[in-house]
Amino acid sequence: MPGQCVIGLQWGDEAKGKLVDLLTEGKDLVVRYAGGANAGHTVVIGDDVYKLHHIPSGIINDGVQNLITPGVVINPPTILEEIKQLADKGIDVSTRMKLSQRAHVVMPWHVLEDKMWNRLVSGEDNIGTTLRGIGPCYADKVGRSFAIRLGDMIQDDFPDRVRRIVAVKKQVLSSVAGDDMELDAEAIIKEYAGYAKQLASMVTDTNRILLDAVDQNKSILFEGAQGSLLDIDHGTFPFVTSSNSSGVGISTGSGVPGNWMDQILGVCKTYATRVGGGPFPTEQDNDKGQHIRDMGNEYGTTTGRPRRCGWFDAVAVRYTARLGGVTSIALTMLDVLSELSEIEVCVAYDLDGQRIDYFPAHVNDLRRLTPIYETVPGWQTDVTGARSLDDLPVAAVNYIRHLEKLIGRRIEYVSVGPDRAQTIHIKESVKLDEYLQTRAV
């Protein structure tokens, strides 16, 4: 069962794009199954930097088929712009990618609604979305009557459908937001008919492609978007995205049976970040957080917003690794901590005077708790050139082993820089405890 998945175990931006690109070699298909243009995945190969929002990170490898499946919400002008940018770099996306007829379309009113809802909720309650229309599009998907799927855009009744929806959306938007949010049905019909034409050769039934691939035992790589703590059902609700971005969403979003996935790689940073609002128990809104932001260049790939930074939260990552059925871990950004003499790791929480070792479900509990930290020595050595465990200082390997024990899953990859090449693969046969004995002086 060669179904391999890459999922984020924190609040997104864990470097999933890097890992997907790395693991694409030898795969038949790479699949984006959730989220939309709220994602920003970066792939760095030498001097070439690719920032992908919609298109799977497998696109750079020739000979691999990339799919966007029903669980994704697609913004046509955004994806067309991305296709153009890749064409400028010599990548012909149209021959390497197919889009599901079943995927829902982010329409102009969704973006307006996202802005409107965001404006109406202030302070601590503000989710701080990416304003890409993601929540409203998924809301219409679940509500059904006002939804548009990619396959609808080439149907004869598309213009009438748009007219009917726009009539209702205009009422809602103007009553709540005033008249700065105008929608012109005829202009939208014309514009989107043009997009449909440009995308037509790529739109198909990806369920058939994938189920045939499963029957033929082809190897498939699933690319998660966002992070598990942003999962609509299992994350820090309501400060989440609108899809199942944890491991539980792979099957619903792609249409491939869950029992077909055999390797689930959970990606997490050696610290923690979050963009937008919501609880973040280990946040360091201070010099330490700023140091991490500076060293890790922690600014959003999609919105450019500074990411909130803090210490590694082992309680949270243990939770999401278990939730996602994670079989091994990719630990990224080891290099970012290189200048620190001491590193804190959250190993439990204090909630109302009681020590707990689980991740609370309610946002108010998450806001109230105090992290309990362990202090681990830093290594204060540049690790960006390391390509094997032998190249790392012992203190860095100790830190990796420490996190491995706390998460309860094997660490298989360690990333020491953005480039594809800046990666250490730890073979299954290597046990870190035994390895460290060989390094003892």
The footprint of ligand GDP (CB under 6 A) covers: 8, 12-18, 40-42, 44, 296, 301, 332-333, 335-336, 415-418
Q: Smaller CB distance to ligand IMO: residue 20 or 414? A: 20
Q: Which residues contact 225 (CB under 8 A, 6 or more apart)?
A: 8, 12, 16, 32, 34, 35, 36, 38, 39, 41, 243, 245
In angstroms, give the least distance from the CB of 121 to ligand IMO.
12
Closest CA to 32 of 18, 51, 53: 53
Antiparallel, parallel or unpaired: β 3-8 and 261-269: parallel
* Count of positions on this chain that bind ligand IMO (CB under 6 A): 24
> What does the per-residue mask of binding to ligand IMO show for 296-335, with x meaning CB under 6 A?
-----x----------------------------------
Structure tokens at 377: 């020595």
* Nearer to ligand GDP among residue 19 and residue 147 (C-beta): 19
Residues 197-256 that bind ligand IMO (CB under 6 A): 225-227, 230, 241-242
What is the smallest separation between the CB atom of 413 and Mg ion, expressed in angstroms?
Answer: 18
Residue that is written with structure tokens 């213009």 in the block? 159
Distance CA 67, CA 70 (A): 10
CB of 160 to ligand IMO, least distance (A): 29
Which DSSP helix (H) or strand (E) runs through 68? strand 65-68
Site for Mg ion in 271-310 (CB under 5 A): 301
Of 99 and 392, CB closest to ligand IMO: 99
Beta carbons of 323 and 246 less than 8 angstroms apart: yes
Find the binder of ligand IMO among 45, 85, 102, 127 (CB under 6 A).
Answer: 127
Task: Assess contact for 263 and 72: CB atoms under 8 A.
Answer: no
Task: Output phi, psi for 65, to 5 deg.
Answer: -90, 125
Q: Are strands 3-8 and 220-223 parallel, antiparallel or unpaired?
A: parallel
384 Rama sector, left if φ>0, alpha if ψ -120 to 50, beta otherwise: alpha
Instruction: Report the first-to-last Cα separation within the chain, whole angstroms.
Output: 43
Closest distance to ligand GDP from the beta carbon of 268 (Å): 10
Q: How far is the CB of 251 from ligand IMO (least distance, A)?
A: 19
Residues with a catalytic annotation lie at 13, 41
Please report whether residue 45 would count as binding ligand IMO according to CB under 6 A. no
Strands 41-45 and 48-52, bridge-based pairing:
antiparallel
Instruction: Tell me the C-alpha to C-alpha distance, in Å, between residue 71 and each of 21, 138, 224.
Output: 21, 9, 11
Among 6, 9, 12, 403, binds ligand IMO (CB under 6 A): 12
Nearest approach, Cβ of residue 11 and ligand IMO (Å): 6
Q: Which is nearer to ligand IMO, 134 or 389 (CB)?
A: 134
Q: What does 296 interact with, of ligand IMO, ligand GDP, Mg ion, none (CB < 5 to 8 A by kind)?
A: ligand GDP
For residue 8, state whether it binds ligand IMO (rule: CB under 6 A).
Answer: yes
Select from 38-46, 156-164, 284-292, 370-378 the region that touches ligand IMO (CB under 6 A). 38-46
d(CA 257, CA 264): 14
Residues at the contact surface with ligand IMO, assessed by CB under 6 A:
8, 11-13, 38-41, 127-130, 132, 134-135, 225-227, 230, 241-242, 275-276, 301
